[in-house]
């Protein structure tokens, strides 16, 4: 039997069939890739809370509810009014750079009512040392002086008021020392008071010893 001859038309048909199969496979791969990419994209958008439709399924994703802040809601928070520089806050660096005296003055002017400041000023004006308790007097004076800074325009005014509240036993000596700062006045007063207390203790001990000796001598007679 003679071999089959392949005509030109038959060869062309086989080439066309082979090409057709290759294109179909390629199209299938493309479709699969696009589908996978769309699925990944939808998953990412769903995770981020995007409110839209998923590709291919037409199913609307659930939106993550966000509460709207209205003007009424804002007023409920009682925001500070802003007029020019009013309401402007001081930054952390500026606050840390302030002296304690300056910071306390700002806090007092902002938050302490004027009538309360007057009460504190009156208390400071009438402040005196009770007995020999100079430490309590000094602490109270420093706290009130910090809040009532308007009473002392100069350092000398503060020194005069502090010395004026000292007891007679050390008042004259502190005045004679002529302290230049309030801290110096406090140190001088403290040293003098310590000496006075020590003297009182020594006298009391001597008096007690004398009394005991007298009692012992009386009993021996």
Element (H, E) at 221: none
Centroid of chain to Cα 119:
29
Query: What is the chain's mean pLDDT, rounded?
Result: 76
Give the model confidence (pLDDT) of 184-195 as tens digits.
999 999 999 999
Among 9-13, 22-26, 79-83, 149-153, the range of highest mean pLDDT: 149-153
Strand ranges (E), the chain: none
Give the model confidence (pLDDT) of 40-71 as tens digits.
766 666 555 545 544 455 555 555 556 676 76
pLDDT at 183: 95
Distances in whole angstroms, Cα of residue 221 to Cα of each of 28, 188, 203, 209, 215: 134, 50, 27, 19, 10
Centroid of chain to Cα 208:
57
DSSP 153: S
- Other beta carbons within 10 angstroms of residue 155's beta carbon come to 14
Give percent of the chain above pLDDT 70.
65
pLDDT at 180: 94
Can you name the residues that pair with 83 across neighbouring β-strands? 86
Question: Is the confidence at residue 84, as pLDDT, over 60?
Answer: no
The structure's pTM equals 0.48
Q: Rounded mean pLDDT of 132-153? A: 90
Cβ proximity of 192 and 177 under 8 Å = no
Residue spans of the domains in the chain: they are 100-216
Give the model confidence (pLDDT) of 156-181 as tens digits.
999 999 999 999 999 999 999 999 99
């Amino acid at each position: 039997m003679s071999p089959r001859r392949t005509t030109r038309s038959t060869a062309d048909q086989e080439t066309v069939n082979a090409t057709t199969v290759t294109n179909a496979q390629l199209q299938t791969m493309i479709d699969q890739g696009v589908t996978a990419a769309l699925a990944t994209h939808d998953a990412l958008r769903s995770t981020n809370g995007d409110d839209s439709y998923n590709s291919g399924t037409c199913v609307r994703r659930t939106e993550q509810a966000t509460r709207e802040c209205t003007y009424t809601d804002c007023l409920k928070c009682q925001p500070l009014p802003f007029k020019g520089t009013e309401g402007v806050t001081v930054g952390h660096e500026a606050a840390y750079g302030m002296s304690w005296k300056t910071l306390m003055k700002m806090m007092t002017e902002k938050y302490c009512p004027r009538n309360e400041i007057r009460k504190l000023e009156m208390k400071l004006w009438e402040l005196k040392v009770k007995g020999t308790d100079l430490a309590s007097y000094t602490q109270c004076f420093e706290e009130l002086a910090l809040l009532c800074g308007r009473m002392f325009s100069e350092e000398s005014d503060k020194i005069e008021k502090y010395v004026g509240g000292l007891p007679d036993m050390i008042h004259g000596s502190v005045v004679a020392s002529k302290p230049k700062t309030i801290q110096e006045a406090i140190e001088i007063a403290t040293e003098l008071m310590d000496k006075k207390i020590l003297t009182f203790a020594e006298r009391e001990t001597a008096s007690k010893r004398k009394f005991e000796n007298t009692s012992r001598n009386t009993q021996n007679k």
